[in-house]
Amino acid sequence: MSRQRSAKTKSSAQLDTDIKILVYSASRESLDDYAQTLTNIGADFDVVYTPQDAKRMLKSGKYGVLIADVTDFESSGRSLIRWTKNHISIPNFRIHGYTRTDMPGVLKKVYCRGVDQRFNFDHSDMDRLTGMLFALFLDYQDLSWVKEMTVGQKNLRGKIENNPAMDNPVLLQGPKGSGKESLAQIVHSLGNRCEHEFIVLDCNPRQRFDYVYKTNKDTPANRKALAINFEQLFGEAHKGTLLLRSFTHLSYMAQEVLADVLERGVCIPPDTGKETTFEGRIIFTNNKSLPELVRAKKVSERLYSLLMKNVMDIRPIAQYGKETVQMAEAMVSHLCLKSRGKVMVLSPAAQRIIRKYPWAGNLEEMHEVLEMAVSTAKNLLIEPRDLSMIIPPAPEEDIEPLEHTKGNIELLLKNHKGNKTKVAKGLGCSRGHLYKLMGIYGIPK
């Protein structure tokens, strides 16, 4: 049995609007939670409850993405993924798995294959950012940022290729938006294990799935169950790369169990179901002060000691001074090549704005701003007005902001033809807060 849920509006920054998604789970509660997330970002998708119906629907050729519930690692979701790999030959077909949490605060949005899709409207598309960073590495090697990242990732690859063990993880440390996940994917792609899986474990508790434990007690039974989950997850990445994102959101107990598993060094690959020595890469990303979290007992000291073996620090792009303009120009050139070869340049005024802007969102923010500028600029010369994502509109006097009701938001969206900047101004709030309000009221984004 299946049912269709399609949103009228799609987020072009997150999903290809021509791609239709099939979501599978034997749990209706899980599908309700996941479907709500996809609805919030305007995805076109169907949900299905049985493997038989899922296979029939996949054979129709209408879908470009399969998202399967793999909470139990011997579940029908994993079987469906294996069947799909063997029987669906659609070009660029994508397969994702997700795990419903086993414990509060642990593995909330756990398991996805690759970082080419995001299911939160407020996150940039990592696939496009990764392509951008590849282009910078290849064509702009004189940039200080590229030099630092090239040396850093080569050093990391050397260390982890020589000792591909669990107790030899890598820590990519840098501010939010600095491209840590994309750099991890580059490390994976340039290394000698690129033929194997690249798996992301997102520990940030944005999503809330069912089947959570009623309590989060630190008991031997809970520790054993969690250790098995980690070993099975590492088994999925055996000989490949596992990226643990936002790991500081894991509970202290989960971090201690994770340290146990890393020190033990074994995993359970899905093809054998038996313990074996792990061979692959384990990469952690972080944007917080770990010493402070260790002192506050929010990060395991044992896990911290393991992570300090191989650290790569990533600086905020604002620290590169005048080179931020060169980085922006490089991004514009790359984006133009993807846009049928048109040649666009930044005006002197636009360059000054880019040079002075603080870039709190770092590479992700710069990429998103310039991607919008290249796609919307009316001329080949990019002017300040084309950098609308970082330049607030001029204030208008004697305008009383409207109350933040659903009716007012819908009215403003209609009057301004969906222009979120104008709607946010009419409400007297930021675009980010507007998106949160739209999510709360169930208004398509």
Q: Which CATH architecture has domain 320-386?
A: Orthogonal Bundle (1.10)
Distance CA 257, CA 255 (A): 5
In the numeric block, which tokens belong to residue 367?
């990429």
CB contact at 8 A, 368 and 13:
yes
Contact by Cβ (8 Å): 111, 122: no
Lowest mean pLDDT among 94-108, 109-123, 230-244: 109-123
- Tell the CATH topology of 393-445: Arc Repressor Mutant, subunit A (1.10.10)
Q: Residue 152's closest CA among 113, 125, 176, 179?
A: 179
Q: Does 7 have pLDDT greater than 60?
A: no
CA distance 54 to 65: 12
C-alpha–C-alpha distance, residues 232 and 237, integer Å? 9
Identify the residue with better confidence: 74 or 361.
361
In this structure, what token pair is assigned to residue 231? 């070993």
Length of the chain: 445
User: In this model, does residue 65 exceed pLDDT 50?
Assistant: yes
Amino acid at 311: V
The HSE-up count of residue 19 (CA atoms within 13 Å, CB side) is: 22
Domain with CATH 1.10.10 in the chain: 393-445
Q: Given a cut of 90, is residue 414 above it in pLDDT?
A: no
Q: In the sheet where 241-245 sits, what is the strand order?
A: 109-113, 198-202, 241-245, 281-286, 170-173, 311-313
| pLDDT tens per residue across span 271-313 | 888 999 998 888 999 999 999 999 999 999 999 999 998 888 9
- Quote the pTM value: 0.63
Q: Which CATH class is domain 126-313?
A: alpha beta
The owner of tokens 């169990």 is 257
CATH number for region 2-97 = 3.40.50.2300
Residues 6 or more apart from 332 whose CB is under 8 A from it? Answer: 344, 345, 346, 370, 373, 374, 382
**Model pLDDT for residues 74-89, shown as the tens digit of each residue:** 457 777 887 888 788 8
Distances (CA, A) of 85 to 49, 277, 299: 19, 26, 38
Residue ranges of the chain assigned to CATH 3.40.50.2300: 2-97
Question: CA 149 to CA 137: how far, in whole Å?
Answer: 8
- As annotated, the residues of the chain forming the CATH 3.40.50.300 domain(s) are 126-313
